[in-house]
Structures are given as C-alpha cells and as structure tokens.
Copies of this chain bind each other. A is one copy, B any other.
Amino acid sequence: MPVAEAWAAWTAAARAAGCPSRLPVETVPVAEAVGRVTAAPVWASRSSPAFDSAAMDGIAVTATDTLGASESTPLLLPAGSFEVVDTGDPMPAGRDAVVMREDVHHVRDRDGRTTAAEVRAAVAPYHHVRSIGEDVSATELLLPEGHRLRPVDAAAVAASGGTHVVVRRRPVVAVIPTGDEIRPVGEPLAPGEIPDTNSLMLAAQAREAGCAALVHPVVRDEPALLSAAVREAAGSSDLVIVIAGSSAGRDDYTARVVAEVGELCVHGVAVRPGHPVVLGVVDATPVIGAPGYAVSAALTFEIFAAPLLAALQGAAPTRRPVARARLARKLASTVGSDDWVRVRLGRVGGALVATPLPRGAGVLTSLVRADGLLVVPTGVEGHHPGDEVDVELLRGLDAIERTIVAIGSHDMVLDLAASQLRAVDPMLTLASSNVGSLGGLVALRDGLCHVAGSHLLDPETGSYTTPYVERVLAGEDVAVIRLVHRTQGLLVAPGNPLGLSGVADLVGSGVRYVNRQRGAGTRVLLDTLLAAAGLDPADVSGYGREEHTHLAVAAAVASGRADTGLGIQAAARAFGLDFVPVADEPYDLVARAADVEGVLAPLVALLGEPAFRTAIGALGGYSTSETGLRVR
C-alpha cells in the first residue's frame, strides 16, 4: 500500500475508534513551556514596555528647554528642570526626551550636589524615549495556536504579562520490544541473541519529538503476552510501537495480535526499508508494528510516528532542509516502493556530490554515516550517475562543505585519521567509501571525491599506484602521497588449522579461498603473487567468489564460509582470526595536486604529526617510515 494511502487509512480508523485528533490541554508555568506547543493563541495581557522609559542613560528633559543647545553653544538647565535617568527608567512626569550622558556635563556645588546640567545637544520631543508598547501592546496576538515555544517566545510571553501558557499535554509513547532472542542492552548475550537497540533508538526518537517515552520489558514470543502488553500500553499512552524483533514471521504475529485486540488497518507499506510495517488501533490508541531491522524501525518512526505525534500536539511536523546534489553513481530503485537511500555528501570541484551508502535494512551504520536522505519515489526506476537529486540534509551544509571525501580502497588508518582530524576541529569530517583502489582512481577522475586510497601493484614494473594514475588520470596534475606501508597476508581461522604458509598452498589443495572484487588492489596482489609463482588462478578454489572489503573477507573466514582470503592484519584482528604475512605493500593517497594545499591540507598536516604515527604503529601491521612522502 502506498505510504499516503496507509497514513489515510490508519488516521481515519483512529478517528473512527475515538482517538483524539489533538491531545488535551494543560497550563504550565512559562519557564517550563519551552519546547511545548501552544493549545490556544497567546494574546499580550500587558504592554511591553509597560511605561514610557529612557532609552539611554542621561537626563530626562522637556525637549523645548534644549532648543539651540550644541557642542559650541552649550545650554545650562537649572536643577529641577531635569532628572538623571538610566536606560529603562520610567520617564518622569512632564519630561518628553532624554539627553544622553555623553552630551551632558553636570555642574556641582562644593558638596558634590548637581546644581545644573550643561547640555551640549538639542533633542526633539520623544528623542531617546522608549514608548509604552514599543515591543508589544496589550491585546496584541503574540503567538498563534500550534506554535512550539522557543526561548525567545517564552521570554516574550513573560514580558507581556503571561505567567502560564496553555499547551498540549506531552504525548506519551510506549515502546514494546518483542522476541525470544532480544536481550536488554548491557546484558550478556548468548549465541544467537541480539541486544535491544531498537527500543533505545525509538524511545530516543520519541523524546526528540517532544514526547515522554515508556519502554516495556522485552516480551517473549507468546501471543497472549503480547496482547496483554499492547492493551496495557494502549491504556497508558498515546501511541504504542511494537518492535517485531528482526523476524518477518513475528511481524505477522504483531499484525495478528493487533487484529485480535483491536483493528488492523495496514500490513505492509510500499517503502524500503520499512516495508513490513503494521498500523492499527487498539482501545482508541494508534499502534505501530515497526519492523525489527534497525533502519526500517528508524524510518517507520519518521514516516508514521513523527507526523502523528506532531498532529496530536497540533504542531507542524519537523522537516529537514533540502539541497540539490549530483549523484556519484547509478542508483537502481524498486519501482513499486518509495526508496529511502542514505547518502554521503561532499563539495567536490564546486558541486555537491551524493554517494549512496549500503542499502540494507539492517545496515544501521548507513544511517549513522549518512549526511542526507534521498527518496526515490514509487514509479521511478532509479537515477543515472550525474543526475541532480534533492537530498534531505541530516547534517548542516557548513559541515558538509568541510568534508574530505575519500573513495577507494579502505584502510583502518583512514578511520584513525578521521577521528584525529575531528578531535582537533569539530567541523572537519573525513568520509570514506570503499570501492577498491581502481574504483577510487576512477571516482577521482570523475570529480566524485577529493582523495582516493590506493595500493595497486603494476605487475610489469613492480611499482605501486603511479602507473595506474598515469593511465586513469592521464594528463592531470595529480599528487600521490604515501600513507603507510602495511602487511598483507592470509586470514585464517585461529590456530591456522590448515597450516597455510603462502599463496602456493591455495592451489590444488581444496582450500576454500574467498577473493576480492575486480579492481581491488588486494586481488591484483594475489594475481601477481600467483603469476610470480607460476600458478594458475583457475586452480584456486573460490577464486571467483568476491567480497568487497577486507572486513567482508575476514567475516567469510570467521563464519566458516571460507578457509582463507588475502587481507590486512587489522581485518584479521577484527574477527579474531590468525594472520599469515605474505607481502609488504605501500598504501597511497591520490589527489588532485591543487587540493593538497587546499581541502586536504589538514589531512596532509596530520601525516607529519608524531602522535599520529605512534597511533598507527599501535594498530599493528603497519610501518610509518614513509608516511607523508610525496611519491608523485
């Protein structure tokens, strides 16, 4: 069902079941009203200022008394014809202007008492007088209904005589996690168990939306228990969100329970991620069954919970600013759904460039790392590289403008650099996307990144990176800067059960290898090592099986899907694997020469810092002997 249709069906059913369209009102002291939404217009009950007052420090006078006074022809006002006033003081009766302090010389007697004032400027009536009601007049409309109070609003209400504000009650959101395998965050996990991160996230989203959030203990997979929990939550909240673990089977089960104890309105919406959402009403309370995949759960809140909670408060929903960006690569989309694509953004060569992040509903880090959301609506098949698209911004454009966009081979040292750059300058981001070394050079050529990480070995010359740069970026002024030397090796199960010692062991042995994709430096390295040993890749079992990162290779070995793969030591450590070193290689940063002193300057400076080199050393498997060396 399309999102708009699902929303209409759900809200209509809620209305029919007696759910309020707006929450009840309550009256709160103005100091506690910030963040709340007005339930009635606020009219000023007092003018501000409430009296004519001095707008400057000086003396209050009758304007006509100062006629003709000037710097060169000062005029003496006798005591009794003026009063000393400070800014904000009420104007004394009969005075209609203020001569500012700088234009007054007080004439004093021997005891220091002012006997007269020498005035060096004439003033017109009402000069330097702040008029009653200058800010707001009693009975004026100060705030309309449906306005979320900010600090300035609360101050203005108080200034115009308000001590309390009539606001909507804060919505209460009940979050019910379900699933036998779900454990509270922080509790130890048995194999197959999952921490209850969705409750934490949804409750925090609800609080950000100005609501109170109640998190129910995890409900085991028993319909009777869930029915009871939903009914109890419906009785004490304005919106119930049931989190269906990560099981689609369990989504059905949430739908069944909602249908049994209330009304099931929608099961399945044309949006990805988030497709299997459940919408219903129980005991005159709207209920959402959120899919268990984290991205789905987060987007379900955005798409269905947030607008409902805004409507209950009578407030405008929060919308993000939108920017136009150029798409870095082809983006396919399911025609039958709204596709919510997470993208990284950066300003490269004058254009804002959007690079899609992994699309999986379970890849929460794609949302963590996203700078924006790109919605490809139902009916659109996708976009071509270079297409202009509208992106909802998750970070400020000013921070995005200062993002160093890295596309290419991945290395942990880039992560380390990202963190150290940010620690020094909170506005600075180094954002890496991993597409392999060759992909990085192509992205650099196409103006999609500032820097490409590369470790491509040229078998003919035996040298790294530069031969490829000359091919892919021919004729361009390109710099190559050495980041590190690192050790590549075979990632093997703990204890190296097959006793592998080098690439020769991969051939004809039945060892299940897992390879990297075409264009990855590590694959080029394997090919070169095999060729040097006179071995045929066709004899390597699993040569055709491709993973796209060191970590994915390590994961395959760790899960027993493969016996070994080539990768860096950090990847072995990530998955508790053993590591058989087979080669040492340089890992370089490739960039346009003009950017080295420009957008990349902070990164280049970092390479020279001893503390950074020490931190690299601590990772293991790296040498910094040539770190920062300009190779080209």
Contact = CB atoms under 8 A, between A and B. Distances in A.
Given A131-B555, A154-B201, A197-B158, A146 B321 contact: no
Given A86-B248, A423-B145, A163 B185 contact: yes
B185 A158 contact: yes
A96 B561 CA distance: 8
B561 A52 contact: yes
| Best-buried of A142, A367, A574 by chain B (most CB within 10 Å) | A574
A583 to B, nearest CB: 22
Contacts of A560: 93
A29 B365 CA distance: 20
Interface stretch (A5-13, A114-122, A330-338, A356-364): A356-364
A192 interface: yes
A353 to B, nearest CB: 19
B294 A155 contact: yes
B422 A146 contact: yes
A396 B249 CA distance: 40
Contacts of A198: 155
A426 interface: yes
B422 A147 contact: yes
A574 B398 CA distance: 45
Contacts of A246: 53, 87-88
A191 interface: yes
A152 B368 contact: yes
Nearest to A246: B88
Nearest to A192: B90
Given A140-B415, A201-B151, A396-B321, A29 B186 contact: yes
A61 interface: no
A280 interface: no
Interface in A423-445: 423, 426-427, 429
A510 B292 CA distance: 81
A4 interface: no
Contacts of A269: none
B144 A423 contact: yes
B319 A551 contact: no
A142 B197 contact: no
Given A137-B574, A398-B319, A551-B140, A49 B415 contact: no
A375 interface: no
Nearest to A131: B555
Contacts of A458: none
B156 A368 contact: yes
| Best-buried of A140, A158, A207, A416 by chain B (most CB within 10 Å) | A158
Contact of A30 (B147, B200, B365): B200
A558 B130 CA distance: 14
Copy total for this chain:
2
A81 interface: no
Given A158-B197, A362-B134, A559-B131, A89 B423 contact: no
A55 B246 CA distance: 9
Contact of A151 (B132, B208, B555, B561): B208
Interface in A401-430: 412, 415-416, 418-419, 421-423, 426-427, 429
Contact of A559 (B52, B57, B125, B155): B52
Contact of A426 (B195, B314, B362, B398): B314
A418 B201 contact: no
Given A89-B192, A552-B131, A367 B152 contact: yes
Nearest to A551: B137
Contact of A561 (B126, B319, B422): B126
A629 interface: no
A456 interface: no
B573 A139 contact: yes
A163 B368 CA distance: 17
B152 A364 contact: yes
Contacts of A87: 246-249, 292
Contacts of A153: 368
Contacts of A31: 185, 200, 203-204
B418 A141 contact: yes
Contacts of A186: 29-30, 163
A267 interface: no
A76 interface: no
Contacts of A316: 396, 399, 426-427
A485 interface: no
Contacts of A396: 316, 318-319, 321
Contact of A247 (B48, B88, B159): B88
B365 A142 contact: yes
A50 B197 CA distance: 14
A556 interface: yes
Interface string A166-201: 000000000000000100011001011011011011
Question: Which 5 A-B residue pairs are closest in the complex by CB-CB distance?
Answer: A88-B246, A151-B204, A141-B415, A155-B201, A41-B419
Given A139-B570, A141-B419, A159-B195, 20 more contacts: A30-B200, A31-B185, A41-B419, A52-B561, A87-B247, A89-B192, A89-B247, A91-B559, A133-B551, A133-B575, A135-B364, A138-B575, A141-B418, A151-B204, A151-B208, A152-B294, A153-B368, A155-B294, A155-B298, A156-B364
10 contacts: A34-B204, A47-B555, A55-B362, A88-B292, A133-B554, A134-B555, A143-B368, A144-B429, A151-B202, A321-B397
